[in-house]
A and B are shown apart, each in its own frame.
Chain A
Amino acid sequence: DAKTTQPNSMESNEEEPVHLPCNHSTISGTDYIHWYRQLPSQGPEYVIHGLTSNVNNRMASLAIAEDRKSSTLILHRATLRDAAVYYCILRDYNNAGNMLTFGGGTRLMVKP
């Protein structure tokens, strides 16, 4: 499985944008980039995913580099509720046996 590299932790101020980076230099052409987050004492929660183009949804935006070797999850306006561990995961949908494999993620702390 292609691996991802994320900073262990990041800090942000409330109501400011947050850019969470992810490096995936060995990504293959059929790997999709997924982001999940895990709030304290809860299971992970899907945030967003994409292949090549930038993606937006109600939770966040995903910016994918042109060479696809890195991506950035953008929270446009951080709130205290966004404090969580954010996981960047690659997944190839070519076969049913290729599962979502979580790494260590980035712990985001939001200061009031």
Chain B
Amino acid sequence: EAGVAQSPRYKIIEKRQSVAFWCNPISGHATLYWYQQILGQGPKLLIQFQNNGVVDDSQLPKDRFSAERLKGVDSTLKIQPAKLEDSAVYLCASSSTWESPSLHFGNGTRLTVT
């Protein structure tokens, strides 16, 4: 089975610019997650989708971050405008249902904000 695909792999932008990340989950997986991982820390959940609906976005900085999963498949995460502290790896994960204990992660997009 193909894994979770993310692009781009790396992105470098200047502060105040905008950036978007794309995720294609494993086929048939209803639940999709975006995590932010700052260097040296564990991943932090930003948002969880169940199909195309948001289950939890309590940790998403909504003044600058947005995410969508319009058709319940692919998802995009956007940052506008970016700050220096947004430098991190952005990980997408999917699972067959929200009850599945096994999340499948992509390899992430490494964002550097200068």
Residue from B35, B56, B101 in contact with A46 in the complex, judged by beta carbons closer than 8 Å: B101
Is A100 among interface residues, defined by CB-CB distance under 8 A? yes
User: Given A32-B101, A49-B101, A100-B45, A43–B56 Cβ distance below 8 Å?
Assistant: no
Contact A43 B98 (CB under 8 A): no
Residues of B whose CB lies within 8 Å of any CB of A are 4, 33, 35, 41-45, 48, 50, 55-56, 91, 93, 98-99, 101-108
User: Given A34-B101, A49-B101, A43–B107 Cβ distance below 8 Å?
Assistant: yes
Residues of A whose CB lies within 8 Å of any CB of B are 32, 34, 36, 41-46, 49, 85, 87, 91, 93, 96-97, 99-105
User: Given A49-B101, A96-B50, A99-B33, A105–B107 Cβ distance below 8 Å?
Assistant: no
User: Given A32-B101, A42-B107, A43-B93, A97–B55 Cβ distance below 8 Å?
Assistant: yes
Which of chain A's residues has its CB closest to B102's CB? A46
**Besides the contacts A36-B103, A44-B105, what 16 more A-B pairs have beta carbons closer than 8 Å?**
A42-B107, A43-B91, A43-B93, A43-B107, A44-B91, A46-B101, A46-B103, A46-B104, A85-B42, A97-B48, A99-B45, A99-B48, A99-B56, A100-B33, A101-B45, A102-B35
